[in-house]
Amino acid sequence: MGRVSVLGCGWFGLPMAASLVKRGHEVTGSVRTGSKLSKLESCGIEPVIINLDEELDFIEQKHFLDCETLIISIPPTTGIAKSHFEQVKEFLLQVNDNSIKIIYISSTSVYVDNNNLVTEKNIEIPVKGNGAILRQTENYIRENFSNSVVLRFGGLIGPDRNPAKYFAGRKNIPGGKNPVNLVHLDDCMQICNILIEEKFIPGIYNVCSPEHPTRAEFYTHSAEVLQLEKPEFQNTFTPHKIVSPELLLKTFNYTFKFNSPMQMI
């Protein structure tokens, strides 16, 4: 199987890289500091240090880019010298092999809260948060690398990552009627597996479970399952959106492992 490089072995990148190793791929993964190198090695991942906020080691980067597929999984970070867009652009300037398949992990935060359904065709850019910088980075990749896929992940749920904990016991929370847009780590990884091993179709895809229970329904259910104090929501709407995964479902004939966030807990 072809070599895969994972830029950013964090909450998503590390289990993704480890899963690919188990599936028989040669995998190189990057971390920003040396403290995490042993963790990657223990998973069978060839580790490299790549800190995009510093001057890059050309030889190290050239080796890292000697791959069939490149997964970019580095979320925007505040308080650093270079913007996320500048970091990714400078890194990708070293890609001179048009055959490399690029998978860029983005987020549904690129959509404004329009109180309606959003699809990949929605072009309005949010003013606040990381949405604008992610959209700028997406556009650069899609315009300059035709062999690329952008995956817009919904809110992520998986091991040690359950947002229900942040609402446990809270009272009078607004927006109880808002729909949630969530996706489980297992589905995120499986979609990447399909792209790498089966069918790579360039484009932009929303990765979000098809069902959208309300915040009140989901977080109350999660608290019950986790035996936490139930939160109390106002029976109101606040600005929101409903993220549609329809293009992903049709293009790849995909069936979500977790069709509803209610199954993820």
Contacts of residues 52-61 at CB distance under 8 Å and 24 or more positions apart, as own/partner, are 52/82, 52/87, 52/88, 52/90, 52/91, 53/80, 53/81, 53/82, 53/87, 56/90, 56/91, 56/94, 58/94, 61/91, 61/94
pLDDT of residue 164: 79
Can you list the alpha helix ranges (DSSP code H) found in 97-197? 131-144, 164-167, 185-197
135 pLDDT above the threshold of 90: yes
Domain positions in the chain: 4-158+182-210+241-258
CATH number of 4-158+182-210+241-258: 3.40.50.720
pLDDT of residue 162: 80
Report the DSSP pairing between strands 27-31 and 46-49.
parallel
Indicate whether this model's pTM tops 0.85.
yes
Measured torsion, CA atoms of residues 207, 211, 212, 218, in degrees rounded to the nearest 10: -110
Q: Mean pLDDT across the stretch 182-193? A: 98
Amino acid type, 183: V
- Alpha-carbon distance 175 to 177, whole Å? 5
